Amino acid sequence: MGLAVCVGMLTELLEDDPESAEGFEEELAEANRVLAAAGLPQHTEPREPMELDSRASIDGFPYSFIHYLRRAYAHRLLSPDWVATPLPDDVDPTADPKIQALLDGSASHLLCHSDAEGFYVPIDFKDVLFDGDDSCEEDDEDDEDEEEEEAGLPGGMLGSSYRLLEELVFVAPALGIHLDNGKLSDEEAERIDALIEEDGGLYREYVSWLLLYESARLSIAHKTAIVFC
């Protein structure tokens, strides 16, 4: 199993699985409840089909991959000149003290989010929003069943697509990803996809970065939520 990252999910469910669409709208209502509690605008998920031209060739990855990207972001934030090198397979990226040092706060929308479920919405707000306990702790796929049993906002944390995109742009130089004023060109997207296909080096960081970047870009452009599932 792994993490699927989706945009435009409601439109797909309305067409293919109306019963599941009802449950999904209930989850979106929980996100709006958390937004309302923070004094923020409500999110209205599109119901009509959209042209979602993602340049990521995949729509998911193993749960562990996002932790490699989070580690890179933490290092880049704490050491601006830091450049990523491949982490040995026997090293756990979640144990990196750089990540742990940043988890006590709620400023990072990349770091402070469930890696198994939850939403980013196309609304611009500064800090991650919490449903319940105001804390951010690393979770993993072993926690997924426990999270599914809990009522309320899926994942317990709500992120902003705008802030996620901003953080992905920030970490890009540390990964050797070239952007033009924060924009990813088609040529660079193709280059990253080719590096992913090589299945070596920083491929885990590239897989998660490209899918999240494209998801955030499309989320903002089409006003649709990013869904972790």
Q: Which of 223, 182, 164 is nearest to 42 (CA)?
A: 223
Q: Which of 166, 148, 159, 195 is nearest to 35 (CA)?
A: 159
Interior CA angle at 147 toward 73 and 10, to 5°?
80
The pLDDT, as a whole number, for residue 135 is: 64
Place of tokens 């649709």: 224
- The predicted model gives 173-200 an average pLDDT of 96
Q: Residue 170, Cβ neighbours under 10 Å: how many?
A: 16
Task: Tell me the pTM.
Answer: 0.92
- Are the C-beta atoms of 155 and 116 separated by less than 8 Å? yes
Q: Is 30 exposed, middle or buried (0-12, 13-18, 19+ CB in 10 A)?
A: middle
The pLDDT, as a whole number, for residue 146 is: 43
Structure confidence by residue, pLDDT tens digits, 67-91: 999 999 999 999 999 999 999 999 9
- The predicted model gives 22-26 an average pLDDT of 97
Structure confidence by residue, pLDDT tens digits, 115-172: 999 999 999 999 999 997 666 764 444 444 444 445 699 999 999 999 999 999 999 9
The pLDDT, as a whole number, for residue 88 is: 93
- For the chain, percent helix, then strand, then coil, each to nearest 5? 45, 10, 45
Mean pLDDT (the chain) is 91
- The predicted model gives 45-50 an average pLDDT of 95
* Three-state SS annotation for 1-39: CCEEEEECHHHHHHHHCHHHHHHHHHHHHHHHHHHHHCC
**Rounded Cα gap, residues 184 and 209, in angstroms:** 11
The pLDDT, as a whole number, for residue 150 is: 54
Q: For the chain, what percent of residues have pLDDT higher than 70?
A: 90
